[in-house]
Structures are given as C-alpha cells and as structure tokens.
Amino acid sequence: MKTFYIETFGCQMNAHDSEKVIGTLVSEGYTQVPTPDAAELVFYNTCSIRDKAEQKVFHRLDQFKRDGKGKTFAVLGCVAQQEGAKIFEKAPHVSMVCGSASYNQLPQMLVQLEAGNRRVTGLNLDTEDTFETPLTRRNNPHRAYITIIEGCDKACAYCVVPFTRGPERSRTSESVLSEARQLADMGYSEIQLLGQNVNSYRDPSPAGWDFAQILDAVGRVAGIRRVRFTTSHPRDFVKPIVDAIDSNPALCNHVHLPVQSGSTRVLEAMQRLYTREQYLERIAWMKAARRPIAITSDIIVGFPGETEADFEATLGLLDEVEYDAIFGFKYSRRPNTPALALGDQIPEEEKSRRLAIAQERQRQIQIRRNAGYVGAVEECLVEGFNKATGQWIGRTTQHKTLNFLHAAAGGDDLTGKYVAVRVTRAGPNSLVGEWVG
C-alpha cells in the first residue's frame, strides 16, 4: 500500500494545485491518509510570499528530523522553486523538491523515488506548459476552482511570485470551457477562475479571447450559477470586465482589486504600474455599475521608504473606497526581489503600528457598510452547518459570510443549496439572518 499525506500552504492557486497533485498521485496508485504519521510519502505544498509563510515548511520538516525514518518527504510549490536543491542541505531527509511548473513530471519523479533515488528535483521554469489534468480531486462538491492562467509577468518590487511561478501561460478558452461544462454536469454550481493575474489572460488559440470574454462565457455555461475570479491586477483591469459583470447575472458581485498602497510615490517604488488616480478610476467604474459590486483589496504597510504621509494616503484611500474587506500585510523582505536593494527599511514595530491602525480604520468602515445590509434579503450558497452556534453558514454573491437560522437545524442538509436569507444583524466581518425561502 503506497500512502501519502499532503499539507497545503498559501493562496488558492496552491490549494487547487494540490487538488491536481492529489488526483495525479491517486491515479498512480497512491492512497491519501489524513495524518503524516500514517503516510509513507509526506508532501508539503509551500508558500513563500512572506518570510513567515516560508518558515512554516521548515518547522514542519524539523519535527521529522529524527523520527521521520522510513518516510519520504517532498517539498512542492513556491519554496521548492525558490530554494531548489538548497532544501536538501537545510533538511537532508527531503527527497523531492518540485516547483509548480514541473508538476506534469510528477509521475516520472515518483518512479525515480520508488527506484530508490534519494534526490529528485523538478525545477524547470522555462516551460510553455500549464498543469492540466483530468484527474483533479476537488475537495468541495459545489464550488470548483479552474486555473486559467499560470505565472506572472509583472515585476512588483516586493514579490517572489514571478520567480516561483515563472512567466505567464494561459490555457485555451476551449479547455477552460470544456472543464467548466464538465463541472456543471457533475453538479458544481460555482466556479472560481484562478490566476496570479487573471486580467492578463490571453487565449492562445486563434479565438484570442481576453479575460472579460472568457469570464462572460464561463458565466453562460448551463448549470453554473456563480462565477468568481481572483486575482485582478489594477493595471490590466479594464472596463469590459465591469460591463460583463453588469450584464451577466451569473458573475458574482465581487471584485478583489489589490491596491497595495494609496501613495503614488510608493506605488511607483513598488513598480505597480498605476497611480492612485488610475486605481480610483477603476473603483469609479465599479461604483457606477448597476449591480452593487463588493470591492476587496490587499495593502502592504511599511514598504521601504514609506513615510507617515504615504501611510496617511493609504488610510485616506480606505476611507474613499470604503472596501468591503481588506487583507493587510507588513512588508516582508523576500529573496531575489528588486526591493531587497532599497534602503530605508521601516522598523518592525513601526510596521506593526501602521498595520494595526489600518486594520482598525477598516474595521470601522466594515461595521458601517455591513449595517447597511440589515433588512435586505440575500441569496446564499450554503457552505455548511455550525454545530456550536446552531447556524447555517452561507455566502452571498458579494462573498460575505451570512450565518442564519433555519428550522431544520442540522436536519435536512442545506449544504450546496441556494437559499434566501433576511439579514437581521451585522458585524464587521459577517452578517446574521433568518431563512426566508
């Protein structure tokens, strides 16, 4: 019996890569087990976006330094690509190091491991290939990820992704659409299109579709009720995307458009390729839409040289946009990135201070915004039941969590169903309501 365990860190692209890796392993005769102790092969699919994320895999590996005998360890994902064979020095009990651009080679690499090879690598980045497999093992029966573009051609000064995932490669529109149709046939009703920069999707087939076209087409697949996408880069976020959302009811009322900073000076140092004003123009398109589009963002505080005035500009932007949610991060110095060479690092305590201020400012905005939903009836896709609170967990088209009561407390399974819920209360991070139909 060949058993494996896999733990995944990082973004949705990594989560979906793991679903494809699991499918590949299962088709090679391996069986997934729920704990590393029970496994012969232990996989870590890693993230390197910030230093803390990278350290996680080394903590895990350290735990097995002594008692990992008889097991084979494999490091996949962004830390694998970034560190390469150096991982064998840091953690000599690791036998496989493989970046995401080489997952097509996994079956051959497994054969090498079985043959007793103790050092197997897949680190080639100059590939035109995308990792497509009919064997994907999705772990949610209602909501499915589809990768439409891999890699990133931007060069944001702080970011490891261009180094860990290589250049952009888009899938053909036909292969994306046929996967969407298959998923609909299997009963999936929500699809999330994935890419580090979905907006720069470019169909390599003669049809030559851009992102707005593939988005609209996936939203027209019979049986698909909701389509989401992540992540959008403001530079490539064009008006036709908003027009598609406005005219196609299956496209969700939500756009994640990371701004990173509200200061044009810092945006320039970050090499983000847009100004504050250009970013706000994109926000204005969304606010002018007929449908109420929820907008979320990422911000980085404490980028080298960020002054108090720059930081204030970010706070001012939060007030101006009134995001539905943000993810805030303290700048983390990353290997290979251009920002490493910049002087004027911001002290850790100062970054923490700025992050806390930004998050508190945003919390107040969310309290205000969410209060506006009280009384409204929202359609939710039910994600599960929370035994502790006796509430069902739903997700609105705007990607807000809406917990609600229903007479069938845990009885009939509502999971995967679309229900109407009246919002009765609102907090900064979620809504509470009652089932109405």
Q: Does 170 bind ligand SAH (CB under 6 A)?
A: no
Structure-token pair, residue 165: 């995932």
Q: Does 300 bind ligand SAH (CB under 6 A)?
A: yes
The residue (of 196 and 263) whose beta carbon lies closer to ligand F3S is 196
Q: Does 329 bind ligand SAH (CB under 6 A)?
A: yes
Closest distance of CB 384 from ligand SF4, Å? 31
Closest distance of CB 291 from ligand SAH, Å? 23
Closest distance of CB 214 from ligand SF4, Å? 19
By the 8 A CB rule, do 206 and 188 touch?
Answer: no
Q: Does 362 bind ligand SAH (CB under 6 A)?
A: no
Residue 77 site contact among ligand SAH, ligand SF4, ligand F3S, none (CB < 5 to 8 Å, cut-off depends on kind): ligand F3S
x/- contact string, 23-52, with ligand SAH (CB under 6 A)? --------------------------xx--
Distances (CA, A) of 429 to 21, 82, 257, 366, 388: 33, 35, 19, 7, 18
Q: Does 82 bind ligand SAH (CB under 6 A)?
A: no
Residue labelled with tokens 């093992």: 137
Q: Does 164 bind ligand F3S (CB under 6 A)?
A: yes
The residue (of 195 and 394) whose beta carbon lies closer to ligand SF4 is 195
Residue 162 site contact among ligand SAH, ligand F3S, ligand SF4, none (CB < 5 to 8 Å, cut-off depends on kind): ligand SF4
Which stretches within 248-401 are classed as H helix?
A: 264-269, 276-287, 308-321, 348-371
Burial class, 26, CB count within 10 angstroms (exposed 0-12 / middle 13-18 / buried 19+): middle
How long a stretch of residues is the chain? 437
Closest distance of CB 196 from ligand F3S, Å? 6
- Residue 208 phi/psi, 5-degree rounding, is 65, 30
CA angle at residue 385 from 429 to 5, to 5 degrees? 95
The number of CA neighbours under 13 Å toward the Cβ of 349 is: 0
x/- contact string, 66-105, with ligand F3S (CB under 6 A)? -----------xx---------------------------
The residue (of 11 and 326) whose beta carbon lies closer to ligand F3S is 11
- Residue 120 phi/psi, 5-degree rounding, is -115, 130
Q: Does 147 bind ligand F3S (CB under 6 A)?
A: no
Structure-token pair, residue 132: 């497509």
Task: Write out the residues near ligand SF4 by the rule CB under 6 A.
Answer: 152, 154, 156, 159, 161-162, 196-197, 233
Residue labelled with tokens 């926000």: 283
Measured CA to CA, the distance from residue 311 to residue 306 in angstroms comes to 7
Q: Which of 91, 109, 144, 160 binds ligand F3S (CB under 6 A)?
A: 160
Measured CA to CA, the distance from residue 105 to residue 25 in angstroms comes to 12
- Residue 27 phi/psi, 5-degree rounding, is -70, -20
Q: Which of 258, 262, 304, 394 binds ligand SAH (CB under 6 A)?
A: 258
Measured CA to CA, the distance from residue 26 to residue 320 in angstroms comes to 49
Q: Determine how many CB atoms are found less than 10 A away from the CB of residue 27.
A: 13
Q: Does 158 bind ligand SAH (CB under 6 A)?
A: yes
Measured CA to CA, the distance from residue 390 to residue 409 in angstroms comes to 6
Q: Does 164 bind ligand SAH (CB under 6 A)?
A: no
Q: Which of 48, 102, 261, 332 binds ligand F3S (CB under 6 A)?
A: 48
Residue nearest to ligand F3S (CB): 10
Measured CA to CA, the distance from residue 123 to residue 393 in angstroms comes to 41
Q: Does 197 bind ligand SAH (CB under 6 A)?
A: yes
Structure-token pair, residue 327: 């993810």
Q: Which residues contact ligand SAH by CB under 6 A?
A: 49-50, 158-159, 196-197, 231, 233, 258, 260, 298, 300, 329, 331-332, 334
Q: Which residues contact ligand F3S by CB under 6 A?
A: 10-11, 13-14, 47-49, 77-78, 160-161, 164-165
